[in-house]
Amino acid sequence: MIEVGRLVALRAVATWGTVTAAAGVLHCTPSAVSQHLAKLERETGTTLVEKDGRRLRLTAAGRILAEHADRVLAAVEEAEAALAAHHETVSGRLTIASFPTGCRGLLPPALGRLAIDHPQLELAVIESDRDPSIDRLQRGTADIALIDEWPEMRLAFPPGISFTELGHDVADLLVPADHPLASSGGPVRLADAADERWIAALPGTVCYEWLLRILPGLRPSVLVAEFETQLTFVAAGLGIAFLPRLARSTLPQGVVVRPIVPVTARRVLVAWRSAAAVRPAIGATVAALRSSWELYDM
């Protein structure tokens, strides 16, 4: 009978392409991964991987076994979750992948609550944008994903992923205090500010791609990763920025918030693998994030 650990090694190599990378994800040595693969090939009587330059690729037989491995490992995870639910124990290791402002605004109170209520639960956090977070869920390197979704960039969740909505995070225009838009009456239309000097997130992030979709042809003058850094540029009079409210805790002096019309907001969602849904740690973490959102909700 094929051991589950060897299927885990095969899937990791199929996903990451090298023994070293697979070992890093599985928190073991490359030698251990190589031994799992060698034993799996002996047990199945077939070659499962072959060299492709510096990487490994699956043979046709390897791909067949890897497809079955996905289903087998999902069933194992489902069985483990059911057993944990039977014991009603919130324990074990749980990794949360979260978009940056979710990390700063929602995770600290949620993780603090979990540490008090469930000291047997070992928590880890990875800051990650939306699409990589979903990928981490599928690969099994994260158990919970806290993600954002703009209305013009709806998500199509892959099979086997469940989710729930925490709420909507409204966004505003941030302008220098001496900017003409700072004193104009009424809300501002983003299109009316398209010719301004813009400060934006880095290309490839959800917020950057959404902004360029709303304002085609926009070429931001300043690109920075941190929203707090964007605010410092706005305060210095170097441009305007578009920020969700979760992205700012306090405003620096010299920055004025202008509401946008029509109101623009992103959905904040929590996702997990459906096979692990009954695991008490999943339910406890989702509940803690929901409580954290209720504290934040603006």
Q: Are residues 247 and 172 in the same domain?
A: yes
pTM of the predicted protein model: 0.71
Where among 37, 56, 85 does a domain terminate? 85
pLDDT at 76 (0 to 100): 63
Q: Are residues 140 and 286 in the same domain?
A: yes
The number of distinct structural domains making up the chain is 3
Burial class of residue 137 in the structure, from the number of CB atoms within 10 Å of its CB (0-12 exposed, 13-18 middle, 19+ buried): buried
pLDDT at 81 (0 to 100): 63
Per-residue pLDDT of the chain (298 residues; tens, 9 = 90+): 677 778 778 888 877 788 788 788 777 888 888 888 787 778 878 887 888 777 887 888 778 787 777 776 666 666 666 666 545 678 889 999 999 889 988 999 999 999 999 998 999 999 998 889 998 898 888 999 999 999 888 888 888 899 999 999 999 999 999 998 888 777 888 888 889 999 999 998 888 888 898 899 899 999 998 888 999 999 999 999 999 998 887 788 999 999 989 888 999 999 999 888 888 899 999 999 999 998 876 5
Q: Are residues 172 and 259 in the same domain?
A: yes
Q: Are residues 41 and 97 in the same domain?
A: no
Give me the helices (H) in 123-278, please. Answer: 130-139, 180-183, 206-214, 227-235
User: Which token pair is 154?
Assistant: 């709806």
Q: Which residues contact 8 (CB under 8 A, 6 or more apart)?
A: 26, 36, 69, 73
Q: Are residues 249 and 173 in the same domain?
A: yes
Write the CATH number for 33: 1.10.10.10
Q: Are residues 192 and 223 in the same domain?
A: yes
Report the chain's terminal Cα–Cα distance, integer Å: 55
Q: Are residues 242 and 125 in the same domain?
A: no
pLDDT at 39 (0 to 100): 79
Where among 22, 54, 85 does a domain terminate? 85
Q: Are residues 14 and 128 in the same domain?
A: no
Q: What is the dihedral of CA 256, 150, 166, 156, to 10 degrees?
A: -170
Residue-range definition of the domain harbouring residue 159: 90-167+266-296
Q: Are residues 278 and 140 in the same domain?
A: yes
Write the CATH number for 216: 3.40.190.10
The Cα–Cα gap between 276 and 162 comes to: 10
Q: Are residues 145 and 271 in the same domain?
A: yes
pLDDT at 86 (0 to 100): 47
Please say whether the beta carbons of 225 and 101 come within 8 A: no
Please say whether the beta carbons of 176 and 234 come within 8 A: yes
Q: Are residues 179 and 257 in the same domain?
A: yes
Burial class of residue 274 in the structure, from the number of CB atoms within 10 Å of its CB (0-12 exposed, 13-18 middle, 19+ buried): middle
Please say whether the beta carbons of 147 and 269 come within 8 A: yes
Instruction: List the one residue out of 272, 275, 237 whose CA is nearest residue 256.
Output: 237
Q: Are residues 270 and 161 in the same domain?
A: yes
Where among 69, 85, 101 does a domain terminate? 85
